[in-house]
Amino acid sequence: MKVRAAVAFEAAKPLEIAEVDLEGPREGEVLVEIKATGICHTDEFTLSGADPEGLFPAVLGHEGAGVVAEVGPGVKSLKTGDHVIPLYTPECRECPSCLSRKTNLCTAIRATQGQGVMPDGTSRFSLDGRKLHHYMGTSTFANYTVLPEIALAKIREDAPFDKVCYIGCGVTTGIGAVVNTAKVEPGAKCVVFGLGGIGLNVIQGLRLVGADMIIGVDINPAKREWGERFGMTHFVNPDEVDGDLVAHLVNMTKTPADQIGGADYTFDCTGNVAVMRQALEACHRGWGQSIIIGVAPAGAEISTRPFQLVTGRVWKGTAFGGARGRTDVPRIVDWYMEGKIEIDPMITHTMGLERINEGFELMNQGKSIRSVVVY
Ligand code: NAD
Ligand code: 022
Ligand code: ZN
């Protein structure tokens, strides 16, 4: 069939809207009509050419929501008309990783997903007979896409596509980092570095679980208001701190009863390795945990003195908020529909596919929290 897609033909060039060919679903695959998709940093990371594993030409996009249009042979858990969110971290429930219950990083289709093809090694997308690569197993920058059944979460039908698409990456990553990875308890003192589309979701996750102190750190003063909107209790602009930022944060968390100070949990939502070090070192001696969410530039390294870990601070990372997509994503959609979490105010821009490059510009200039393309 002919579908409308924003195609990344080569690195560092704008996306081009084109009519491309999409083959129907094969064994275990599902054709989905994408209704809306968010634009996220990883799409830009790949499009810019900075991603050493980026493949071109490709149909990018990994933050979508839509409706099942057709199921291939052997598909049991989905039917035509079901509402779904694509998962760049699938959940097969059969591989050693899924069975371990210790990680959400399903390995069932990992190799082919990284190679930009379906699990059988071929692509469903082409243009004038030339193969186009899939991206993160999702390719949501097209009004129809094909995915493996295990890479789709079935969601309730009253959820608005133009909002819940954000649950396909940013919302689940931020809230999941709090709930699944850190397992933050009520009363905790927390610091969130970087108040963008991820950090604001960490903040609302911390509010949800009843954290006491939610300190937001951002070099952009406009983020104070944004943080407060979602539950931040204190704001620190590193450029306005006299002296050392880490010492300042540790001081803020001190009490008469605890003169050591430090956060119970910190979150890096910047992708900057210098910030990652600050986030670890702002943790409380003996138990503080720092969660790395930000994706650093290719080849970047983190460092700290081992003493920081010897004295009980813990460094952790998280992919997709540690969420098992088919199990956890429908619950997060419920939380949104029940008013337990907010999404609408974070979607600062909505546009048609023909203006998708403007969405990338807004993100690159730091002018948006989230842009959503509606088909
Ligand atoms: P964003 O650009 O919207 O937000 C980043 C924020 O960090 C901005 O507000 C910026 O002002 C602030 N910042 C930059 N440098 C800073 C510094 N030195 N100190 C304090 N604040 C600083 O980005 P986002 O959409 O929120 O994404 C954040 C990161 O999370 C990215 O690296 C993204 O790739 C990553 N991410 C990871 C996962 C995962 O599964 N691990 C999923 C989604 C996104
Ligand atoms: C999404 N991300 C950043 C912004 N939006 C993002 C990027 C990478 C990962 C997660 C979220 C990630 C962490 C660990 C891995 N990935 C490796 C997983 C594994 O090897 O099992 C990751 C993922 C998908 C892809 C590449 C890296 C891909 O499909 N190309 C989950
Ligand atoms: Zn993303």
pTM exceeds 0.75, yes or no: yes
Under 8 Å between Cβ of 100 and 26: no
Residue of 4, 33, 70, 95 marked active site: 95
Per-residue pLDDT at 39: 98
Residue-wise pLDDT tens for the chain (375 aa)? 999 999 999 999 999 999 999 999 999 999 999 999 999 999 999 999 999 999 999 999 999 999 999 999 999 999 999 999 999 999 999 999 999 999 999 999 999 999 999 999 999 999 999 999 999 999 999 999 999 999 999 999 999 999 999 999 999 999 999 999 999 999 999 999 999 999 999 999 999 999 999 999 999 999 999 999 999 999 999 999 999 999 999 999 999 999 999 999 999 999 999 999 999 999 999 999 999 999 999 999 999 999 999 999 999 999 999 999 999 999 999 999 999 999 999 999 999 999 999 999 999 999 999 999 999
Q: Is the CB of 181 under 6 A from ligand 1?
A: no
Distance CA 190, CA 181 (A): 14
pLDDT (0 to 100) of residue 128 = 97
Q: For this structure, is 269 an active site residue?
A: no
Sorted by where each starts, the structural domains of the chain and their CATH numbers stand as 2-168+343-374 (3.90.180.10), 174-318 (3.40.50.720)
The structure tokens 């291939």 sit at 72
The verdict on whether 133 is a catalytic residue reads no
pLDDT of residue 205: 99
From 198, 239, 370, the mutation candidate for ligand 1 (largest count of ligand atoms within 8 A of CB) is 198
Burial of 100 (0-12, 13-18, 19+ CB in 10 A): exposed
What is the SS3 string spanning the chain? CEEEEEEECCCCCCCEEEEEEECCCCCCEEEEEEEEEECCHHHHHHHCCCCCCCCCCEECCCEEEEEEEEECCCCCCCCCCCEEEECCCCCCCCCHHHHHCCCCCCCCCHHHHHCCCCCCCCCCEEECCEECECCCCCCCCECEEEEEHHHEEEECCCCCHHHHHHHHCHHHHHHHHHHHHHCCCCCCEEEEECCCCCHHHHHHHHHHHCCCEEEEECCCCCHHHHHHHCCCCEEECHHHCCCCHHHHHHHHCCCCCCCCCCECEEEECCCCHHHHHHHHHCECCCCCEEEECCCCCCCCCCCCCCHHHHCCCEEEECCHHHCCHHHHHHHHHHHHHCCCCCCHHHEEEEECHHHHHHHHHHHHCCCCCEEEEEC
What is the CA(96)–ligand 3 centre distance, in A? 25
Instruction: Verify whether residue 63 is a known catalytic residue.
Output: yes
> What separation in Å is there between the alpha carbon of 187 and the centre of ligand 2?
31
Pocket test for ligand 1, best of 43, 89, 278, 295 (most atoms within 8 A of CB): 295
The bound ligand whose nearest atom lies closest to the alpha carbon of 166 is: 3
Is 106 an annotated catalytic residue? Answer: yes
Ligand 2 mutation pick, 295, 316, 360, max ligand atoms within 8 A of CB: 295
Q: Is the CB–ligand 1 distance for residue 194 below 6 Å? A: yes
Q: What ligand has the least distance to the C-alpha of 165?
A: 3
Predicted confidence at residue 182, as pLDDT, reads 99
**What is the predicted pLDDT for the residue at 350?**
98
Looking at the CA of 200, which ligand is closest? 1
For residue 370, indicate whether it is catalytic. yes
Cβ-based neighbours of 29, under 8 Å, separated by 6 or more: 71, 72, 75, 118, 124, 146, 147, 148, 149
Q: What count of Cα atoms within 13 Å lies in the side-chain half-sphere of residue 57?
A: 21
Query: What amino acid is encoded at 86 in this protein?
Result: P
**Of 153, 230, 221, 225, whose CA–CA distance to 198 is shortest?**
230
Q: What is the pLDDT, as a whole number, of residue 199? A: 99
Can you tell me which atom of ligand 1 is nearest the CA of 220? Answer: 11
